[in-house]
Amino acid sequence: MDAHKQLTIGLFGFGVVGEGIYRVLQQTPSLKATIKKVCIKNPGKKRNAPAELFTTDKDVLLNDPEINVIVEVIDDSNAAFDIVSTALKGGKDVVSSSKKMIAENLPELLGLQELTGRSLLYESAACASIPVIRNLEEYYDNDLLHSMKAIVNGSTNFILTKMFEEKLDFQEALLMAQQLGFAESNPKLDVEGYDAVNKWSFLLTHAYGIVEYPEKLVFTGIQNVQGGDAKVAREKNIDIKLVANAQKLQNGKVAAFVLPQFVKHDDHLAFVKNEYNGVVIESGFADKQFFYGKGAGSFPTASAVLSDLSALRYQYKYEYKKLKHHRPNELTNSSM
């Protein structure tokens, strides 16, 4: 039996996440996973790994029959989709962190998994270290998931925390987030809610079987939250947070959106500060459950990739149970 599959990895990307995976695998020899080759973009960059490991030719990895897993952690969503689809079609399993690529191409990626029978896992793409996708798939495999609300973007949460706790204005807080590496140099993706809605779109698939392009969801970011708003909220003893929401309505439809919201201090999400993420799930019998952890960073993200690799040894696949085995829920923009 092939229960403990030996993993020979082709790694795409050696940035924050890619190098984290390289280091984490060095510290987990029991996984029996080895990186055979790493594909990067700029050959001139200095790397903290042996030079012979690197190539800029993607086909060296994609055409190597010994490589049975592609780990794709690059920052170019078009190139990422090309790599991931070629790998699946070539009979390789894939682990990816590229949330934008997944959100923009989910219908195609679902089709490719079905067509090839290969596995595509992406736990690290939403909430990094928090194991939310596999829990939604496996643990909440029923129709009693009443609601899910979450803070899924660490940069905006960091900015809002600094505006509330240190009374910084928006620009000062954003600059601090950039200096500490929590926000992109072009922060539009984070600040205007694109990153959060990208993650929310595929979390909705695992929670409710909804497959929808992110731009079809109602969303906005924190670009219009002012220091004055923070002051008023503080006076009323509440926070403002960028909250992703999904709520099953009485008519069976699911209302979903990503918007800045007032959050009372006794709400679980009020506990989520700085670059952390949190997810509150409310289900029929268990009542509320709260997942909390680091939503970004080299090792926290690599930890979720490691968990996906470990699952691949047992041929684990997402079954998309809510989509394929239950009647998928319908999305609505109405909250009634």
Ligand X SMILES: NC(=O)c1ccc[n+]([C@@H]2O[C@H](COP(=O)([O-])OP(=O)(O)OC[C@H]3O[C@@H](n4cnc5c(N)ncnc54)[C@H](OP(=O)(O)O)[C@@H]3O)[C@@H](O)[C@H]2O)c1
Q: Is 23 in the site for ligand X (CB under 6 A)?
A: no
Among 7, 102, 128, 269, binds ligand X (CB under 6 A): 128
Check binding of 297 to ligand X (CB under 6 A).
yes
Which span sits near ligand X by CB under 6 A: 61-69, 124-132, 163-171, 263-271?
124-132
Taking CB under 6 A as the rule, does residue 212 contact ligand X?
no
Catalytic residue among 37, 99, 199, 294: 199
If one asks whether residue 15 binds ligand X (CB under 6 A), the answer comes out as yes
Shortest distance in whole angstroms from residue 55 CB to ligand X:
9
Q: Is 199 a catalytic residue?
A: yes
Q: Which two tokens mark 49?
A: 């790994």
Place of tokens 């993200």: 301
Binders in 251-290 for ligand X, by CB under 6 A: none
**Neighbouring residues of 208: CB distance < 8 A, sequence distance ≥ 6:** 145, 246, 248, 254, 322, 328, 329
Q: Which is nearer to ligand X, 130 or 230 (CB)?
A: 130
Question: Contact between 14 and ligand X (CB under 6 A)?
Answer: yes
Q: How far is CA 298 from the centre of its chain?
A: 13
Window 76-95: residues binding ligand X (CB under 6 A):
76, 79
Element (H, E) at 216: none
Which residue among 37, 92, 99, 162 contacts ligand X (CB under 6 A)? Answer: 99
The residue from 27, 30, 42, 334 that contacts ligand X (CB under 6 A) is 42
Supply the minimum distance, in Å, between the C-beta of residue 315 and ligand X. Answer: 24
Taking the complex as a whole, the smallest distance from the CB of residue 130 to ligand X amounts, in Å, to 11
Alpha-carbon distance of 219 to 194, in angstroms, equals 8
- Bridge partner residues of 283 (DSSP): 145, 287
- Residue nearest ligand X, Cβ-based: 15
CB burial of 76-95 (b: ≥16 within 10 Å; e: otherwise) equals: ebebbbebbbbbbebebbbb
User: Residue 196 in contact with residue 222, Cβ under 8 Å?
Assistant: no
64 or 76, CB closer to ligand X? 76
Using an 8 Å Cβ cutoff, are 184 and 153 in contact?
no
Candidates 301, 306, 323, 329; binder of ligand X (CB under 6 A) is 301
Q: Does 209 bind ligand X (CB under 6 A)?
A: no
Alpha-carbon gap, residue 256 to 217, rounded angstroms: 7
Query: Most distant CA pair in the chain: distance in Å?
Result: 63
142, amino acid identity = N
Q: Does 188 bind ligand X (CB under 6 A)?
A: no
Contact of 43 with 56, CB cutoff 8 Å: yes
Q: Does residue 155 interact with ligand X by CB under 6 A?
A: no
Task: List C-alpha distances in Å: 164 to 50, 187, 231, 258, 273.
Answer: 45, 20, 7, 20, 10
CB of 56 to ligand X, least distance (A): 7
Which residues contact ligand X (rule: CB under 6 A)? 12-18, 39-42, 45, 73-76, 79, 97-99, 124-125, 128, 296-297, 301
Residues known to be catalytic: 199
